[in-house]
């Protein structure tokens, strides 16, 4: 395959994000974090790295940052425990790996990739996933690794209000993700999340479900979603975007628009997606007030954005 221009996009959650909810100081912090992580991925792709390496590196960096609801800084369940999910997919051969409800893995996205590369299965959950991690040299971490005062406060507020929230106070839907195309034309997608504040233990959202929150196929596109997971599961959002391109010959922009602005609102689904196709720059689309997002393409200016405008 002839060399193509690389492209990359990432998200850090979508939801009721507006200027009256974020101080200028906080906005500066978020923008700096998005720019820093975007540079990690663009540097790799510019050096000829595989798309899978780029999306894993980007999501690992987001998992390390307590600003985002993934890895360190994840939200807590109603039992005040941590249940993290992640998925990764390679578009060249449709290989995928995912983990559900792990509480002792610092980087769930790396465990998802380990499953992709070292297992006949696609998804491993709970204790079984962590046993697999130990067998492949992963170090376990304790709950204190993920714990932050901010998330404890969110859980207390959610319990007092008797609500379940994707990121309490309607601030954002807490998921991180990345999609990339490398210079060989390979597509990849990766998504990671801490889930919902005060969620029932065992709840699973769209993030680790291939075709709902994460999907990649070189023939069409790579997609990572963020939003109300139950709606994204019911709508099979990520795969359906690819299917509209495959069977309907739609453009990536039109397929994303249909899913985000036509289909999801039918069931009051709120959130957004990032997607990259076989050519061109990524599409970043959301039907909520805002989405923490960034994108870059070889030879183009990077974009760092938060609000709906």
DSSP secondary structure, 208-243, as one string: TSBTTTEEEETTTEEEEEEE-HHHHHHHTHHHHHHH
- Read off the tokens for 172: 């954002």
Catalytic residue status for 23: no
Q: How many CB atoms lie within 10 A of CB 121?
A: 13
Classified as helix, coil or strand, 83 is: coil
Helix (H) or strand (E) holding 60: helix 51-64
Phi/psi of residue 212, each to 5°? -100, -65
The count of other CB atoms within 10 Å of the CB of residue 7 is: 25
CA–CA distance, 253 with 91 (Å, rounded to integer): 19
Of 175, 191, 193, 220, which is the active-site residue? Answer: 175
Separation CA 210–CA 302 (nearest Å): 28
Residues known to be catalytic: 175
């Amino acid at each position: 395959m002839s060399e193509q221009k690389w492209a990359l996009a990432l998200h850090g959650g979508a939801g009721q994000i507006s200027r009256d909810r974020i101080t200028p100081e906080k906005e500066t912090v978020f923008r700096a974090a998005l720019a820093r992580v975007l540079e990690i991925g663009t540097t790799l792709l510019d050096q000829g790295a595989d798309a899978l390496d780029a999306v894993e590196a980007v999501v690992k960096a987001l998992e390390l940052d307590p600003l985002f609801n993934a890895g360190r800084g994840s939200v807590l369940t109603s039992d005040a425990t941590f249940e993290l999910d992640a998925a990764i997919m390679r578009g060249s051969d449709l290989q995928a790996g995912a983990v559900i409800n792990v509480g002792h893995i610092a980087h769930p996205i790396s465990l998802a990739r380990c499953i992709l590369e070292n297992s006949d299965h696609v998804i491993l959950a709970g204790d079984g996933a962590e046993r697999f991690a130990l067998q492949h040299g992963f170090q376990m971490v304790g709950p204190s690794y993920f714990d932050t005062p901010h998330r404890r406060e969110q859980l207390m507020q959610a319990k007092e209000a008797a609500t379940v929230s994707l990121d309490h106070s309607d601030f954002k839907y807490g998921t991180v993700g990345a999609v990339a195309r490398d210079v060989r034309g390979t597509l990849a997608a990766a998504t990671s999340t801490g889930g919902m504040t005060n969620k029932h233990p065992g709840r699973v959202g769209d993030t680790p479900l291939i075709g709902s929150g994460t999907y990649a196929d070189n023939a069409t596109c790579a997609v990572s979603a963020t939003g109300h997971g139950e709606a994204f599961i019911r709508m099979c959002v990520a795969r359906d975007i690819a299917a509209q391109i495959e069977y309907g010959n739609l453009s990536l922009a039109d397929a994303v628009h249909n899913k985000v602005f036509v289909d999801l609102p039918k069931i009051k689904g709120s959130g957004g997606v990032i997607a990259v196709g076989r050519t061109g720059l990524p599409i970043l689309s959301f039907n909520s007030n805002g989405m923490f997002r960034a994108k870059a393409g070889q030879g183009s200016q990077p974009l760092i954005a938060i609000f709906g405008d």
